[in-house]
């Protein structure tokens, strides 16, 4: 039986490595260049010496250097498709900031940041297809699929490496808006409890508070009370998986709509008010530009469906 997937035969190609590609492992570079070629075939090409770097053999873990010449042998690859462009062109309207080194998008809830076993296309795959001439485009960080808001992408390797350092060293200030269960008492509160993936539930592993975990710091600042809930600003001073969600639950104020760490009865009570998602929104990124040095302050407005939930809570309180 013939496959229905469209393919294209390429000839021998020679690619010169620029600064955006320098530093990548050779196997990762090949997987990006030879789209549609099975991973096993790519590694076989390397073992047979059909891929050459500066006319010589190179292993899969070789780190490409600026000025290297890479020979790609003739292979049959997946033919270019315009499907992603047609389906996801609307993402361009959600760009909050863009220059020659980086891009910030207001990611919608329900849209994964990258493809995987359950999702064919995420934000990064969509943008790579929308920008076919871009030599480099990578995620700087990740947001949960259910979280909306500011997502940062790098358009050059120097920018990516600099932003990774800034992210690790606290140079990027990250503020989230979340609706939490209960009325908040007092002012701003620091949470400094370590987190680790240590609670299995079915096929997934949840994050929990444990003394053996990694340091995790968050600052919770109340914004306004809405009936039986409070809108808070959560500044993440570190960037652990599910940090805002686990810290909120640890305080006894789980985030509304959280199906992993939340309160089932609280979530159910908000469904008639229109809450069908996690009420967590990456509202602000504040950092120094990794190349130019000027201060960037990027804000993503609270999505209309979340603002509507707050309005309905306020209306119920007045009745």
The residues that are catalytic are 144
**Cβ atoms of residues 197 and 183 within 8 Å:** no
> What's the rounded Cα separation, in Å, for the pair 288 and 306?
30
Token representation of residue 238: 């570190």
Residue 65's nearest CA partner among 23, 31, 25, 26 is: 23
Q: 89: phi > 0 → left, psi -120 to 50 → alpha, else beta; which?
A: alpha
> What's the rounded Cα separation, in Å, for the pair 264 and 268?
6
CB proximity list for 4: less than 8 A, separation 6 or greater: none
What are the angstrom distances between the C-alpha of 227 and each of 26, 263, 267, 273, 314? Answer: 56, 16, 14, 12, 6
Residue 27's nearest CA partner among 58, 68, 65, 66 is: 58
CB proximity list for 237: less than 8 A, separation 6 or greater: 170, 217, 218, 219
DSSP 300: -
Strands ordered across the beta sheet of 52-53: 13-16, 69-72, 52-53
Partner residues linked to 229 by β-bridges: 181, 226
């Amino acid at each position: 039986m013939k496959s229905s997937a469209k393919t294209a035969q390429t000839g021998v190609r020679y690619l010169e490595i620029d600064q955006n590609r320098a530093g990548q492992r050779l196997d990762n570079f090949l997987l990006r260049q030879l789209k549609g070629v099975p991973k096993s075939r790519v590694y076989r090409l390397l073992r047979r010496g059909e891929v050459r770097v500066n006319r010589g053999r190179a292993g899969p873990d070789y780190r490409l250097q600026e000025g290297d010449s890479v020979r790609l042998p003739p292979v049959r690859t997946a033919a270019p498709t315009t499907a992603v462009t047609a389906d996801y062109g609307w993402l361009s309207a959600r760009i909050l900031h863009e220059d020659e080194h980086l891009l910030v998008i207001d990611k919608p809830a329900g849209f994964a940041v990258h493809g995987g076993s359950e999702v064919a296309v995420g934000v990064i795959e969509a943008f790579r297809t929308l920008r076919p001439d871009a030599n480099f485009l990578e995620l700087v960080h990740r947001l949960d699929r259910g979280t909306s808001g500011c997502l940062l992408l790098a358009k050059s390797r120097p920018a990516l490496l600099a932003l990774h350092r800034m992210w690790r060293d606290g140079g990027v200030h990250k503020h989230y808006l979340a609706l939490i269960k209960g009325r908040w008492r007092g002012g701003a509160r620091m949470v400094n409890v370590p987190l680790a993936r240590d609670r299995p539930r079915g096929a997934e592993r949840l994050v929990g508070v444990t003394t053996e975990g990694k340091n995790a710091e968050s600052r919770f600042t109340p914004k306004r009370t809405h009936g039986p809930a409070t809108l808070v600003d959560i500044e993440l001073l570190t960037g652990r998986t599910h940090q805002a969600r686990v810290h909120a639950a640890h305080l006894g104020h789980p985030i509304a709509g959280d199906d992993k760490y939340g309160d089932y009865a609280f979530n159910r009570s908000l469904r008639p008010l229109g809450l069908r998602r996690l009420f967590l929104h990456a509202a602000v990124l504040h950092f120094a530009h990794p190349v130019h040095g000027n201060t960037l302050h990027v804000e993503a407005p609270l999505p209309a469906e979340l603002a509507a939930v707050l309005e309905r809570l306020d209306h119920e309180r007045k009745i």
